[in-house]
Structure formats: C-alpha cells, structure tokens
Amino acid sequence: MWKQNVSAQKFANHGFTSVSDQLLIEVQISVSVNGECIFREYCTPSHQKELVKGILIEKFGIQDENTYEIEKPSPFEYQITFKGESKIRSSWQAPESAPLTPSEIMPLMAQFQDKAALYKDTGTAESAALSAPNHISQFADDIYLKNTLYKLLGLQDKTATTLICSSKVTGTHIPVIMSLKPHMIISRSGFTDKSLEAFQNAKIQCVGFCRGKHLTQYKTN
C-alpha cells in the first residue's frame, strides 16, 4: 500500500534484464500547534495519527487525547488546539525488568527482521519496535528513524521495556527515546558518543551491532 512499482533495468552476469522495482511512497506532513508550525517533514503515509500523537508527547508531554483538538484542512496537514492548561508531563514509568541476555536478544532480532518487510521490498525504510519482555509488541517504520520513533511513542505500549532500532542512534533521537522510557536499546548499527553518553547516564542498557550471532554491549554509568 505504501509502495509504488516502477520499471527498471537490472544488470547481472554482463547483461541487463527488465524488472519491476518497488519504491517507498513519501508524503510531507505538517503539524501546527495553536497556529504555529512545530513539525514539517517527509514520511510514509502509515500511522499518521500515531506520528502526530508521538510528537505531542515528546514536545509537550501530553498523553491524553481529550486535552486537544485536531483539524485536518488537507490529508497530511494537522492543526492542533490545546484545551486550556493541558501541558502536563506524564509520570508513568516502564515496568522493571531484568536486562535481556544474548540468548534472548537474538530471537528478538529475528522477529524484528521478519517484520521489516517494507525495508526488504524498498531498501529505504527505517524500522523500530518495542518488546515486552521478549516478544515484539509494537512495530513501526518510516523514511527516517526519528519519525518511526514518534510513531512508536504515539502507539504507547506502557508494558514495553526494550526498544529495537534498525539503524544508528544519534543525538537527534535522544529526546524521543527518553520519552519512550526503555530499559534497554538494541540497534543493528551503533551509537554516537552523545547518544551513548546520554543513555548510559540514564542507566539504559545499550546494545549495538546486533547482527546474526554477534552484538556489542556497552556498560552503564
């Protein structure tokens, strides 16, 4: 549904053959709060409502949909109006859980990769998932990892304790990941110095380069 077929020429064994290739469809979404645009970005058309909800949670701490109204002048334009003084941060915490062991992480990553169909078909999607405790409970994908994380935040699985990411985790992802409140972050790629430092200081267990039977586990501070 979020893919477009195009004709292409594939080169292999010293010759070209005609193939049908799949492209990821992207749309531009804009979110305005009380008349001020706070977010404008290209993303996939799926989970639009959850994306907007995740943005509001990360930027304003608003969990209750009854505290704001949404108008849509166009399919991908969202205008948010707060109802009175509703900017109250949520105090919920993810349930306590023991860190996953490598023998628990590997099957979890296999589940994660099985769900990443959009990436397999197009090669351009970033995926992320929440697990509780050793099965994937929520999965999302988008063009950019940050949009994907916003969608997970909008889905709000408060039983989840582990975040799984398909790509590198950087400083730009810190605020939304902190809003997800995971106890563990697993990435198929790695972490930058700023992101790893922030998560170590927050006592979040970080695991990078999780591919096949290999992973790198970092110490918390």
- For 91-108, the pLDDT digits (tens) are 445 556 677 899 999 999
Whole-number Cα distances in Å, 67 to 44, 82, 90, 191: 27, 6, 13, 36
Q: Name which of 54-58, 62-66, 172-176 the model is least confident about.
A: 62-66
- Give the separation between CA 108 and CA 148, rounded to whole angstroms: 18
CATH number of the structural domain spanning residue 138 = 3.40.140.10
141 lies in a domain?
yes
28 lies in a domain?
no
Question: How many helices (H) and strands (E) would you count in the chain?
Answer: 6, 12
- Give the separation between CA 74 and CA 51, rounded to whole angstroms: 16
pLDDT, mean of residues 24-36: 93
96 lies in a domain?
no
Residue 87 has pLDDT above 60, yes or no: no
Residue 62 has pLDDT above 90, yes or no: no
For 63-79, the pLDDT digits (tens) are 888 889 999 999 999 99
Beta strand segments in the chain, E: 3-12, 15-24, 27-33, 36-43, 68-74, 77-82, 126-131, 136-142, 162-165, 184-187, 205-211, 214-218
Q: Which domain holds residue 192?
A: 102-218
92 lies in a domain?
no
* DSSP assignment letter at 169: B
200 lies in a domain?
yes
Percentage of the chain beyond pLDDT 90 is 70
206 lies in a domain?
yes
Residue 210 has pLDDT above 90, yes or no: yes
Q: What's CA 156's distance to the chain center, in Å?
A: 12
Contact 220, 207 (CB under 8 A): no
Residue 134 has pLDDT above 90, yes or no: no
Whole-number Cα distances in Å, 204 to 53, 97, 150, 201: 24, 12, 19, 8
For 149-173, the pLDDT digits (tens) are 999 999 978 788 899 999 999 999 9
pLDDT band at 89 (very low <50, low <70, confident <90, very high): very low
pLDDT band at 88 (very low <50, low <70, confident <90, very high): very low
The pLDDT value given to residue 91: 45
Query: What does the mean pLDDT of the chain come to?
Result: 89
Percentage of the chain beyond pLDDT 70 is 93
Residue 53 has pLDDT above 90, yes or no: yes
- Number of compact structural domains in the chain: 1
170 lies in a domain?
yes
Contact 104, 78 (CB under 8 A): no
25 lies in a domain?
no
Residue 90 has pLDDT above 50, yes or no: no
